[in-house]
Amino acid sequence: MLIAGNWKMYKTATETAEFCRELREALGEVEDVDVAVCPPFTGLAPAVQALADTEIAVAAQNVHWEPDGAYTGEISAPMLVDLGVYGAIVGHSERRQYFGETDEAVGRRAAAALDAGLSVIACVGELEEERERGETEDVLRRQLAPLGAHDNLVVAYEPVWAIGTGKTATPDLAQEAHAFVKSLLDVPVLYGGSVKPENAAELLGQPDVDGALVGGASLEVDSFVAICRAGIR
């Protein structure tokens, strides 16, 4: 069971360090749950430092497919490894929506990160209109195609219509999608999409839900810790 907090473009380096110190005190030793935080790039080094000597991992929100080069604004996997970062998210729906991220690019980013020794959370999920047209499985099949099974790969199923909207897939819908993903790729699958302390236990209790990629609810220590504890089976 993995609970990862995606902070998106929130928290300065100073705020990140303070949050991580509070998190390590509040979380203590949680058995049977792996925990990761994913700050913005400016917060990675402070997070690694604040969470040293704990089991809480630090991951980036993106990573480039080249080890170096003329790619202004990008960060490579070797740079993340050098910082002591554990892994990276690739293909989040906001990257796809706002920055034109393609399935091919997601696959290249994932492969580069895995080759560098990082763990990867690769995001997939359908738009609301795609679900209404009955295209969910086609979308997931297309998005998963550039990815290959790997010991350090985790997929996050995030129905785009449930991200930051307050809407949440029912546990049955989440289970159905997770089972389909696993039929195509033998990896753990997290659920992402308005996960909150109030719905975490029911979602995480589904047989094919292996954890959560938490957005807004990961920005407050108390709510994030509550979700982490809900993952104990």
Q: What is the pTM of this model?
A: 0.94
Q: Which residues contact 116 (CB under 8 A, 6 or more apart)?
A: 67, 77, 78, 80, 81
**Active site amino acids:** 92, 158
Q: Where exactly are the structural domains of the chain?
A: 2-230
pLDDT class for 232, splitting at 50, 70, 90?
Answer: confident
As a whole number, mean pLDDT of residues 143-161 equals: 94
Per-residue pLDDT tens digits for 167-207: 777 889 999 999 999 999 999 999 998 899 999 999 999 99
Number of helices (H), then strands (E), belonging to the chain: the values are: 10, 8
Element (H, E) at 126: none
Domain 2-230: assigned CATH number: 3.20.20.70
Q: Which residues contact 87 (CB under 8 A, 6 or more apart)?
A: 36, 57, 59, 60, 113, 118, 119, 120, 121, 152
